[in-house]
Structure 1
Amino acid sequence: MAVAKLAKLLIVTHKSDENGLLKALQKKAIAEIIPYISTEKKKSSINNGVNNSKSVSDIKKAIDILDNYKDKTFKKIAARAGKYIVKKSEYSNIIKRKDFDTIMKEVVGYDEEIRNNEAKIIEINTKIKQLQAWRPFKWKIEDLKNFGTCTIKLAQLRAKSSEVKKILNSLTDNHISYEIINKNAYINYLILAYHNAFKKEVEEYLAEVNFEYAELDEYTGTVESNLDFLQKSLEYCEERKEILVKLLREINIKSYRDLVVYLDYLENNSEVEEAIDSNFPAENASFYITWVTEKNKNKVFSLVDNYKSSKVYEIKPDKDEETPIILENKPIFKPFEIIISLYGVPKYFEIDPTPYVSLFFALFFGLCITDAGYGVIFLILSALMFLKFKGSKKMALLVLFMGIFTVIAGALFNGWFGDLPSYLGREEFFGKFALLGDPMKSESGAMNFFRLALLLGVLQVIFGLFIRFFDSIGKKNFQVAFLDTLPWMIIIISLVIILLSSNIAVSMQIINSPIFPASVSKVLIWLILPSAIVILLFSARDQKSWGFRLFMGFLNLTIVNGITSYMGDFLSYIRLMALGLVTAGIGVAINRIAFDFGSIPVIGIIILIIGLVFGHIFNMGINILGGFVHTLRLQYVEFFSKFYEGGGRPFKELKEEHKYIILVD
């Protein structure tokens, strides 16, 4: 239940041993390896890193291209199958292949050619569409340029049919001869001819009446001959594209799996290569700082001893050096390490809050859901995770604990898929477990929920202060223990007892009758006063000016991390009740709506089942998210602020990480 003790080692290895030693350490996955890096070496390692990353990016590009040309059915099957299972002997043979560069170049080249052909196909189709309208024109296109004193142009007129006749009649009035050679619903295709003496006036007129000239300057010969040529070019591009797609699909079948394995190999070995490239620039030797747990230290010594030209020495950490963090907890607490990791692991000499968070987190999440039916689903999901995803044992355990406490909370407050038992005639049976009442049907149930949420908030905040107090004593930080923490412990506990001994708590319905005698208040006030004076005088003890120290002490007592702050912390826990009631309320509404539809003849039962299933899935989904986030918030803001800082550097062992494959013997 603490941060693991680490040893700092220095490994000195000859260049001949370096790669083998690092890969051996990588297979063991017990040590964090940090190379010495100099300014000069950084520059050269940048280039090497670029080359390695380029190889990875090139092969990823090739794989992405091949993915686009997979058969759709095969693609779906591959996606469902997940990682490739590869034997170690096969893995060794694949990474020795020398033709991956050739394959990658072929894939990229074929893909580029396919894209070029697709662009050409679009371009050719556009040209064919343009020329087809002028198919009735039988002259050679280049002949339009050679008519001496006359100008002949191909033009198209876009106008409504009612306006076309008027425009055509006006052409002769403007010295223009014309012939309509083709037309469709919206466009008339014409040959226009006019004497060059009227060129300026004619062109101005044509611009006014929306004539568009055909842009055929790039063509020679007849329209028909050009269409034949374009059609043949189109057929060639389409055939070539089909051939290239076929080639890529053949590569998919023959080499896709091997490319993925090779990518896995490159990414898996990138850390070793980066470490070698980044090392201190010595001619024949390399130096590595190594962090390892005390229990694994001898394994590193034994491993290095297998290499004749390598030595390992235990050295002391530098002053103020940041030691990497490994959390060591009992198996029951392991799943909750993810909660700490999301916030930030502790510093090396800081307390590990994982065990303290575990019970509160699972309990609070259960209260946010407060539905035993949903809890049963969590338990089923955790069982499936244990069976199907053996690598996610931590997450499966976390879901298991969350499910257990959700079932307990739901049973205590009569939440079973909302109020589903009342529709099934089983309300009396399930009601036996509702020891704290039903907050949706009775005031007592709602008040019990309120009291429980508030009680848990007070307990967790005070527990956080106790952790800080004893942790500070353990570190011999007595000022923090006795000047910053103990006074608040006394004040908070005393005020809670005073409240519970008064009629104020009764009027607020927190309790039914005073728990402690009223006389206890007179005793506790003499504990509160000196504690308040200590906070007033010493909470801002770093300030040299006594006036400013007292001012800051007053703020610390009242506003800044003071009484009002603690009251806010306690009230924050009422969100447990709010979220629990939201889950219950939506569940009740879903049942009501679904069973109302159930009375419809024939299809009613179908609507009922669909409504219940999808309604409760929706309710469970949104409230899992809300419950998880708000439970995290209570830990991070209200609980951790009392004793925990975080901000440590997580231990990152050098290890084999196979993203895309599973290696088997």
Structure 2
Amino acid sequence: MIEKVKKVNILVDKDKENEILDKLFHLNLVHISSFKEEDLNDFSCFTKPISKTSYQEELYEIDFALSIFKQFGVGESGFFKSFFPDKQILLRNEFDKIVENFNLKDFYRNMSELSSKFNLLIEEENVLKEEKHYINIMKSFPFQYSIFSGTKLTKSICFTVKNRDLAILSSEENSFLSDIFFYPFETEKDSTKAFILYLNEDDDRVNSLIKKYNVSIIPHLENITGFIEEEVERINLKLTEIEKEKTVIKSKIKDYYKFKINLLALKDFYNSLKFKDNTLENFLQGKEVALLKGFVKEIEVNKILAVSNDKDCIVMISDPEKDDIVPVSLRNIPLFRPFEFLVKLFGVPSYSNVDPVPVIAVLFSLFFGIALGDAIYGLVLAIFGFFFRRKYREDAGAHNFFSILLYGGIMSIIVGILTGSFAGNLFELYFPSGAITGVIKSVRIIDTLSPTGSVNFLIFAIGIGVVTQLLGVIINIITKIRGKNYLDAIFNGVGWLLFLPGLVLLLLLSKFPFLKIFDYSLIIVGVILLLLGGWNSVHSFMFKPVAALVNIYGIRSSYGVTSFLGDTLSYSRLFALGLSSSILASSFNMMAQVIGNMFGGFGIVPLLLVLIATQSLALMMSVLGAFIHSMRLNFLEFFGRFYDMGGYEFKPLGFEFKNIIVDNKEEVKNNGKHGNSWSSF
């Protein structure tokens, strides 16, 4: 259900607005809202204050430290953990100790120094690796590398030249090469590396030879000065030292990881304070007083009224007005609560709308179960969901997600039993005369792999679509009645609720002729109401007849015959998904059997390996398809009939813990998980 809320206006002495804000923050009950533009016109003598504190520096330091842990791969890892990290639990007094004692500045400075030092080591390591690569190229060079420094009168270069060009060079420039120092020091299959030392006055001649004979100069690194053996020893020694220093830094960062929960606690703390200080901008300040507007849940009004007992402020409670944008708080029984996750994923309904969570809980589970449609797959998914639901019971988001998988798995077990699908035809193929196979056949209602069964399954899926669409129309009628749009509820609500079932019953008149009068009555009354709805929707008399006619098509109305047919047929995807899951699983069963037979008496091992691998793949594909298409049928085909997501979530001013879980109990339940020293930094 959508919880009832009250509008609250708080008038406070201007000098005590921060004090009142702190009280509201610790109460964690009031959703603060900003004043509308027209309200500002009514309070022209009031101004809006500007928040002075942003806590950006603290939040940057926290994010920087957390990014260092991620950069060095410290802590939790793995594909599953990346989506559902374990939220750690802190007692309230532990959280308070972190806030009071943890020195974030020192911790940030230490992490920053380690990161900077590590980056410098990486840069130095890259330079040494570049030198090592160069030495590998020049490994046969026999002289000291300092020879490349030359003198005031000489220059030197190393180069690579193709053997064919070298032969021509040696022949054509023999006299010049005799006048300079020319020393080939490494010959390979196609090329030769050579060194020349020449006078400065021969520089132009050397450059012309380089161009003429396609010579490739080997650049010289200034850091290298000694013999190759000395340089190799120097580089390897330095690389070893750098690796040791890197290991020390990584070890220190790994030790600091135990303070990650401190960082996460402070991140939630400062984000909450930032939200509180930003809320200060929602005040309207006058010369002597300040005004704040918000909303509070009806069941918690008395707690807010208690704030005014100290006479520092005046609290005024009233019902929301029609043009107010009212925040929405969903409250459902534990069985349905996980499906609030799906509704919020699509968008929070408006305050005047109907809470769709209970209906979505039933429909999503049903759609998912039909689309997956296998008892063994459902059992595996239900066990998976049950296990991780318990594991993440303190994390609301993860708990809700795995609860949805649990419910979907249970529904898939039921559908699988009724359709006789147990990992496809696993039992029928491998144990055709077994007792379990006999039980499966005896309880099976529809054989989806048979022609008749497939047709019945398709009709069943489309029938679900018809019922779901009519349910959406009913909810739309309720919403319009709650909004006091009575004529629209009758003409464009009840009209469709009579006309559409009448169209469906036309298909059944050949089998049930006694329904003819009833069916025609539904269609006639429905058409009349729809025509009146279209007639009433425009003011110009000239266009009223046209509007009445097109209302049935759906142009003037929120619905239409074509929309009904299209959306209803869309539910045939449930049939397609359920059938494809069974066919795919059965195909993998036969493939595993063929592979097992190829190995004769030893075929049981490859058969099981192939069976487990292929069925696991089929399970993941089927679950993904069932989840996506079940959401589509709810969000697009069903929500399109009535849903108005014009609302936004009720978010009270107070601490919001996104990264940790704070337990207000006094007893320690963490088994020493947080035994680190809070005042170490």
TM-score range, shorter chain: 0.7 to 0.9
Aligned to 2:476: 468
Match of 2:341 among 327, 332, 338: 338
CA distance in structure 2 between the partners assigned to 1:358 and 1:216 by the alignment: 72
Bigger shift: 123-132 or 611-620? 123-132
Letter aligned with residue 543 of structure 1: V
Aligned to 2:587: 589
What are the residue-to-residue correspondences of 1:248-397 with 2, within 5 Å? 249-250=251-252, 252-253=254-255, 255-277=256-278, 278-279=280-281, 280=283, 288-302=292-306, 304=307, 309=312, 312-315=315-318, 317=320, 320-391=323-394, 392=396, 393-397=399-403
Q: 1:5-62 CA deviation, whole Å, 9 max, x = no partner?
A: 11222346679987786666556544324477999998953x732xx22322222212
CA distance in structure 1 between the partners assigned to 2:547 and 2:5 by the alignment: 41
Aligned to 2:150: 144
CA distance in structure 2 between the partners assigned to 1:298 and 1:557 by the alignment: 50
Aligned to 1:48: 53
Cα distance, 1:173 vs structure 2: 4.8
Q: CA distance change for structure 1 residues 355 and 516 in 2, over 3 Å: closer, same or farther? A: farther
Structure 2 residue 199 is the aligned partner of structure 1 residue 190: no
Aligned to 1:648: 647
Aligned to 1:111: 115
What are the residue-to-residue correspondences of 1:96-245 with 2, within 5 Å? 96-97=100-101, 99-127=103-131, 130=134, 136-137=142-143, 141=147, 144-147=150-153, 152-173=154-175, 177-180=180-183, 182-183=185-186, 185=188, 186-193=191-198, 196=201, 200-213=204-217, 223-224=225-226, 235=237, 239=241, 242-243=244-245, 245=247
Matched residue SS, 1:146: coil
Contact kept? 2:146, 2:226, Cα under 8 Å: no
Matched residue SS, 2:194: strand
Structure 2 residue 248 is the aligned partner of structure 1 residue 246: yes
Contact kept? 1:497, 1:516, Cα under 8 Å: no
Aligned to 1:627: 626
Aligned to 1:508: none
Q: CA distance change for structure 1 residues 438 and 285 in 2, over 3 Å: closer, same or farther? A: same
Matched residue SS, 1:223: coil
Contact kept? 1:69, 1:245, Cα under 8 Å: no
Q: CA distance change for structure 1 residues 629 and 275 in 2, over 3 Å: closer, same or farther? A: same
Contact kept? 1:23, 1:272, Cα under 8 Å: no
Contact kept? 2:373, 2:416, Cα under 8 Å: yes
Contact kept? 2:571, 2:633, Cα under 8 Å: yes
Letter aligned with residue 110 of structure 1: L
Aligned to 2:671: none
Cα distance, 1:323 vs structure 2: 0.5
CA distance in structure 2 between the partners assigned to 1:248 and 1:306 by the alignment: 56
Structure 2 residue 411 is the aligned partner of structure 1 residue 405: yes
Matched residue SS, 2:355: coil
Aligned to 1:506: none
Q: 1:75-123 CA deviation, whole Å, 9 max, x = no partner?
A: 99x9999344545444433333364313312321232232223222322
What are the residue-to-residue correspondences of 1:481-560 with 2, within 5 Å? 481-502=489-510, 514-517=511-514, 520-521=515-516, 524-525=519-520, 527-529=522-524, 531-536=526-531, 538-539=533-534, 541-558=536-553, 560=555
Aligned to 1:510: none
Contact kept? 2:382, 2:410, Cα under 8 Å: yes
Aligned to 1:563: 561
Structure 2 residue 582 is the aligned partner of structure 1 residue 573: no
Matched residue SS, 1:191: strand
Aligned to 1:452: 460
Matched residue SS, 2:196: strand
Matched residue SS, 2:150: helix
Matched residue SS, 2:166: helix
Contact kept? 1:137, 1:223, Cα under 8 Å: no
Contact kept? 2:372, 2:577, Cα under 8 Å: yes
Aligned to 1:505: none
CA distance in structure 2 between the partners assigned to 1:36 and 1:470 by the alignment: 31
CA distance in structure 1 between the partners assigned to 2:198 and 2:461 by the alignment: 93
CA distance in structure 1 between the partners assigned to 2:220 and 2:194 by the alignment: 14
Q: CA distance change for structure 1 residues 173 and 15 in 2, over 3 Å: closer, same or farther? A: farther
Q: CA distance change for structure 1 residues 307 and 607 in 2, over 3 Å: closer, same or farther? A: farther
Aligned to 1:430: 440
CA distance in structure 1 between the partners assigned to 2:75 and 2:359 by the alignment: 50
Letter aligned with residue 492 of structure 2: D
Cα distance, 1:434 vs structure 2: 0.7
Bigger shift: 376-385 or 170-179? 170-179
Q: 1:207-243 CA deviation, whole Å, 9 max, x = no partner?
A: 2213345655957xx9328996997688568636634
CA distance in structure 1 between the partners assigned to 2:369 and 2:149 by the alignment: 88
Cα distance, 1:342 vs structure 2: 2.5
CA distance in structure 2 between the partners assigned to 1:491 and 1:240 by the alignment: 81
Contact kept? 1:325, 1:648, Cα under 8 Å: yes
Matched residue SS, 1:292: strand
Letter aligned with residue 612 of structure 2: V
CA distance in structure 2 between the partners assigned to 1:271 and 1:460 by the alignment: 42
CA distance in structure 2 between the partners assigned to 1:143 and 1:470 by the alignment: 91
CA distance in structure 2 between the partners assigned to 1:226 and 1:287 by the alignment: 80
Q: CA distance change for structure 1 residues 54 and 463 in 2, over 3 Å: closer, same or farther? A: same
Q: CA distance change for structure 1 residues 455 and 121 in 2, over 3 Å: closer, same or farther? A: closer
Letter aligned with residue 58 of structure 1: E
Bigger shift: 395-404 or 103-112? 395-404
Matched residue SS, 2:333: coil
Q: 1:551-581 CA deviation, whole Å, 9 max, x = no partner?
A: 3433332364432322222222222111110
Bigger shift: 532-541 or 293-302? 532-541
CA distance in structure 2 between the partners assigned to 1:269 and 1:139 by the alignment: 58
Question: Percent identity over the alignment?
Answer: 24
Bigger shift: 557-566 or 34-43? 34-43
Cα distance, 1:295 vs structure 2: 1.1
CA distance in structure 2 between the partners assigned to 1:158 and 1:483 by the alignment: 91
CA distance in structure 1 between the partners assigned to 2:478 and 2:78 by the alignment: 59
Structure 2 residue 426 is the aligned partner of structure 1 residue 420: yes
Cα distance, 1:162 vs structure 2: 4.8
Cα distance, 1:498 vs structure 2: 2.6
CA distance in structure 2 between the partners assigned to 1:267 and 1:379 by the alignment: 34
Q: 1:235-277 CA deviation, whole Å, 9 max, x = no partner?
A: 5686366346525633542x43335413422333323333225
Bigger shift: 644-653 or 543-552? 543-552
Letter aligned with residue 167 of structure 2: K
Q: 1:120-172 CA deviation, whole Å, 9 max, x = no partner?
A: 2322443465476696345964873433xxxx432333234454333223332
What TM-score does the superposition give when structure 2 sets the normalisation length? 0.81
Aligned to 1:509: none
Q: CA distance change for structure 1 residues 170 and 339 in 2, over 3 Å: closer, same or farther? A: same
Structure 2 residue 67 is the aligned partner of structure 1 residue 64: yes
Letter aligned with residue 121 of structure 1: E
Q: CA distance change for structure 1 residues 663 and 357 in 2, over 3 Å: closer, same or farther? A: closer
Q: CA distance change for structure 1 residues 285 and 388 in 2, over 3 Å: closer, same or farther? A: farther
Contact kept? 1:59, 1:259, Cα under 8 Å: no
